[in-house]
């Protein structure tokens, strides 16, 4: 006679529940990422997840808000875009994709370059390559309307792959039924 711990399931029940039943993510195959951070390592994680999930058939959306908007700016260097002095100053300081800092040990901006060199040496896709892959795999890019209002930016300030400028309520509607990850 097989001993079964109180409250545990026997082997037949475990097999059925663990292997036969699809997870909610498998059922819906939908992944929505909220890209809040403009840090290099977090952007690499965002685009790795986005392109990886899209490559295996998931419908993927990325909602860029606040500092995450920096990576999808049309201008790749420091440009004073936006309406108003403070908005132009904030947007200038962000600097676009070429100026994203590492979240830890940034070393005055040197660390993202060092990390990129290490990635290249180990045959890991660069941040620009990951973004290109996400675009090629038809990942949906959405820009946060509220963040854009605060920063004084317009849809034309961002790459053409930004599908729509939306608010939180619309993002919740678009991402319903799938998994959401905040980065």
Q: What is the pLDDT along the chain (183 residues), one digit of tens a residue?
A: 444 444 444 455 444 444 554 555 456 799 999 999 988 899 999 999 999 999 999 999 999 999 899 899 886 665 666 666 666 555 555 666 666 766 677 677 677 778 878 888 998 999 999 999 999 999 999 999 999 998 888 999 999 999 999 999 999 999 999 999 999
CA separation for the pair 40, 43 (Å, rounded): 5
Q: Does residue 7 lie within any of the structural domains?
A: no
Q: Does residue 145 lie within any of the structural domains?
A: yes
CATH number for the domain that contains residue 152: 3.40.1260.10
Q: Does residue 18 lie within any of the structural domains?
A: no
CA separation for the pair 98, 83 (Å, rounded): 22
Which H or E run includes 163? strand 162-166
> Residue ranges of the alpha helices (H) in 29-176?
40-55, 85-94, 110-121, 127-136, 145-151, 168-175
Q: Does residue 23 lie within any of the structural domains?
A: no
What DSSP assignment string belongs to 55-70?
HTT-EEEEEE-GGGGG
φ/ψ of residue 8, rounded to 5: -95, 165
What predicted TM-score, i.e. pTM, was given to this entire model?
A: 0.77
Q: Does residue 133 lie within any of the structural domains?
A: yes
User: The domain containing residue 165 runs over which residues?
Assistant: 28-182
Tokens 């004084």 locate to: 152
Count of domains forming the chain = 1
């Amino acid at each position: 006679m097989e001993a079964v711990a109180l409250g545990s399931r026997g082997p037949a029940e475990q097999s059925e529940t663990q292997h036969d039943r699809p997870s909610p993510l498998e059922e819906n195959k939908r992944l929505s990422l909220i890209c809040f951070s403009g840090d290099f390592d977090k952007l690499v994680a965002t685009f790795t997840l986005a392109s990886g999930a899209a490559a295996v058939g998931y419908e993927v959306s990325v909602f860029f808000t606040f500092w995450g908007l920096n990576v999808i700016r049309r201008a790749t260097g420091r440009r004073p875009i936006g309406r108003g002095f403070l908005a132009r100053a904030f947007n200038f300081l962000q600097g676009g994709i070429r100026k994203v800092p590492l979240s830890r040990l940034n070393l005055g901006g040197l660390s993202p370059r060092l990390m990129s060199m290490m990635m290249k040496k180990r045959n890991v896709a660069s941040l620009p390559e990951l973004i290109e892959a996400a675009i090629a795999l038809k990942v949906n890019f959405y820009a946060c309307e509220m963040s854009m209002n605060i920063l004084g930016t317009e849809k034309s300030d961002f790459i053409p792959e930004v599908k729509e400028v939306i608010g939180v309520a619309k993002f919740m509607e678009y991402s319903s039924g799938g998994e959401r990850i905040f980065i």
